[in-house]
Chains A and B, each alone.
Chain A
């Protein structure tokens, strides 16, 4: 089977999975308790007026019709209008997505870099105190409960010491100051980024470190490491150029996939820090039965995750001709 055939088959599989996800999403939201209209009704509204609201939102149609409209709109690139914002869903997502990407991509990359750098050292000094401290330290930060860590950091650095803002992404004072230029505003975002970034970094660098450490230990047993040493290369050269580059591969693959997942934002992190990203929006949309917004956000996540899986698979198949699923 040639590569083209493989790619084709893989894409068909993804399309089927996607259709299943799409349908389950539609059903899940409608089966969940809670009625989107009920939250908008107040005691002065007559049942007739409430019914009109239902019609305005298109919820009076039978489920089949709603489902058909939903599928049709998806293929036309129409995600509908959010019940609550009254704004096209796509606009809302585009508005929030960059904020989420900024926070989560930065933290994922920083955590991976730190994980690789420290994992390398831990493996190189296996059994020493450095190794023990790094391994145990990363296990601790990796398993700590994220909201608790976030609140702790906010309380210490935001409230007690007052070094960093408690929450949000920008401060009104800076952005409303007409003399503030691009650099000041960028610095303001950077300033707000510190605590959420630190939280995510602490929680996620541990896994990269541990993967890197074990991969590095395997690599160090390889013959070519022995050869490198025999050639009389320095320890540093052997460690960084010969061992670490090969050992980092699994970590890089992992990071690739977790970048895909990062677009859903961390509902928890974003909520605790009031970071205006997709994660918070998703929580809001689900809790307020804002069907169009919640569906679109979940579909976006599904698409990105499915596609990045395909890309990784294809990349592997390309790199290693032996791989055909």
Chain B
């Protein structure tokens, strides 16, 4: 059998195997020795790889981290008060009430290819967003009639109607280069599905105005950015900070799991892990001398929502009673292990520009369980609800409540608190179960029901077929216009953002006014009032806001700038210094 005879040269195989192993073992240490320690390249660990560096497609966390160091807007938020600060613009925008226009003077800046940044680039960016109806940015620009290029360094925006979001949302849109994108945009415009063609365009060398420029992207391994030699900010002082960058570049490395990244930062392989550290790792990292943990507030909101379209959830007294029953302090300590902030309003406290400090309070930290039950009992009783056995008996003692009845005397049907499943988010799922137990203490027949995220959204946002739900937003925009989106009655439609179905003419009026008030102080008053109304009527009960904990090594670089949403911000990257 000739086939078998030559099938397997076993005699030669074993030495080959040995040789291969020897080569691996020998080359290992050699590769280790030949490592070049690029002194001032900061190494940053990412959990996942950026999906794309296409401006129009990159909406995932990881792509944005890189893209946001390349493309910059006219204005950015400064770290202390979160006020708008001129970035590519030279000064604050000038509003002309008569023509309803904003004039912005631009800085003398250059693109990373050395060509000047001009008003043409700004107009081109906006016109492309409007022309392609880019789903992520169109909403910020649909009310802008025209972008006028006054001269190379002056651009004027003509608004159709006054829109407050123009300042904080439109003017913070990142600008792309006309020279690089014009041919791509024209090409995409000729296809059947222009936006898809634009999003799927492969861009290898993005030209930006930011402090760093993409040097090399080795898929699956690293992204290497070098300092942009044409960066306008070098040596400038903006918002009281003298900008560099003082480092030579950034090497982003992909880790895939937190475990690997944390080992790497412990070993000194990376200088920063740009992702939130889960509570389980914190203790381990706290013990390390060369590692520092930064705790930042997030612009996040996790909340319990009611379907106010149906009884008894349409009754504000019922919702207020539920608010009293929910011990938010307990949720914070047990669900977030203390690494979070208790939420008192819809706008997170970290957003100091817009968070209203004096809203109706239900979550006084000191309230004991019994006090909460009594308080809820009083509110419900006053609103006409009744029990076969009330939670508080005639002697004023707490007893097991039974047979909760609506004001019309009918017994309350079982109802459900929908939450995402534990593998998607253990915190929300756990919160649902705790709330269920607290509601049962006064005899409300609640059951927490974790369900697949997609189905949950379909039921809550699509079909409005639910009683209560626990959802959240990991990153809310800094502009509080979402208050209008979440609770304006015009958004109460299938797929709309008013999932609760809240409807209040007075609130709608305030919300509309807040949307057109251009003066920030005036607008703040309205936004405060809106928060008070919402916390009075509680269609949503804000629950908690997890902290963002990030780890950096202290031995090679210093000068991280803490800010809402973490230390990985422009201010840090422009002012970090090698030790």
Contact = CB atoms under 8 A, between A and B. Distances in A.
Interface of A: 33-35, 38, 40, 42-47, 49-53, 55-57, 81, 84-87, 95-96, 99, 110, 113-114, 116-117, 151, 154-155, 158-159, 162-164, 166-177, 179-180, 184, 187-188, 190-191, 193-194, 197, 240, 244-246, 248-249, 252, 271-274, 276, 280, 284, 319
A197 B17 CA distance: 13
A176 B37 CA distance: 11
A251 to B, nearest CB: 9
Contacts of A49: 133, 135-136, 138-139
26 contacts: A33-B454, A44-B477, A46-B139, A47-B494, A49-B133, A96-B220, A155-B263, A158-B263, A159-B267, A163-B28, A166-B269, A167-B257, A168-B253, A169-B221, A172-B224, A172-B251, A175-B222, A176-B216, A176-B251, A180-B34, A190-B27, A248-B8, A272-B256, A273-B256, A274-B255, A276-B220
Contact of B453 (A34, A162, A244, A271): A34
A52 B135 contact: yes
Interface stretch (B52-60, B227-235, B507-515): B52-60
Given A86-B200, A170-B218, A173-B37, A271 B267 contact: no
B139 A44 contact: yes
Interface in B158-205: 169, 193, 195-196, 199-202
B485 interface: yes
Interface residues of B, number: 87
Contacts of A158: 263
Contacts of B256: 167, 271-274, 280
B481 to A, nearest CB: 7
Given A33-B452, A44-B485, A56-B196, A172 B11 contact: no
Given A87-B200, A179-B36, A252-B7, 4 more contacts: A170-B222, A176-B36, A245-B5, A276-B219
Enumerate the 9 nearest inter-chain pairs by beta-carbon distance, A residue then B residue, closest first. A276-B220, A274-B256, A187-B27, A33-B452, A34-B454, A47-B495, A172-B222, A49-B135, A86-B200
Nearest to A96: B220
A188 B221 CA distance: 12
Contacts, number: 212
Contacts of A246: 4
Given A47-B495, A174-B31, A184-B31, A116 B8 contact: yes
B470 interface: no
A110 B36 CA distance: 32
Contacts of B59: 40, 42
Contacts of B254: 168, 274
Interface in B3-56: 3-5, 7-8, 10-11, 13-14, 17, 20, 23-25, 27-32, 34-38, 43, 48-49, 51-52, 54
A240 B43 contact: no
A123 to B, nearest CB: 14
B199 A86 contact: yes
B97 to A, nearest CB: 26
B10 A171 contact: no
Contacts of B283: none
A167 B196 CA distance: 35
Interface string B330-362: 000000000000000000000000000000000
For B138, B139, B220, which residue has the most chain A Cβ atoms within 10 angstroms? B220
A81 B193 CA distance: 13
A149 B3 CA distance: 38
Contact of A86 (B54, B255, B476, B497): B54
B169 A44 contact: yes
Given A40-B59, A191-B28, A274-B257, A33 B196 contact: no
Given A33-B454, A276-B220, A249 B27 contact: no
B264 interface: yes
B28 A194 contact: yes
Interface of B: 3-5, 7-8, 10-11, 13-14, 17, 20, 23-25, 27-32, 34-38, 43, 48-49, 51-52, 54, 57, 59-60, 133, 135-136, 138-140, 169, 193, 195-196, 199-202, 216, 218-222, 224, 251, 253-257, 259-260, 263-264, 266-267, 269, 452-455, 457-458, 473, 475-477, 481-482, 485-486, 493-497
A172 B253 contact: yes
Given A245-B4, A245-B8, A274-B256, A187 B17 contact: no
A150 to B, nearest CB: 11
Given A52-B195, A172-B251, A190-B27, A86 B57 contact: yes
B457 A159 contact: no
A110 B202 CA distance: 39
Nearest to B50: A85
B34 A184 contact: yes
Contact of A274 (B52, B251, B260): B260
A167 B255 contact: yes
A170 B169 CA distance: 40
A56 B193 contact: yes
Contact of B221 (A168, A245, A284): A168
For B28, B196, B495, B497, which residue has the most chain A Cβ atoms within 10 angstroms? B28
Given A113-B17, A167-B255, A271-B256, A53 B135 contact: yes
B188 to A, nearest CB: 12
A95 B196 CA distance: 22
Contacts of A194: 24-25, 28
Contacts of A33: 452-455
Contacts of B219: 95, 276
Nearest to B476: A43
Given A43-B482, A168-B221, A169-B221, A81 B200 contact: yes
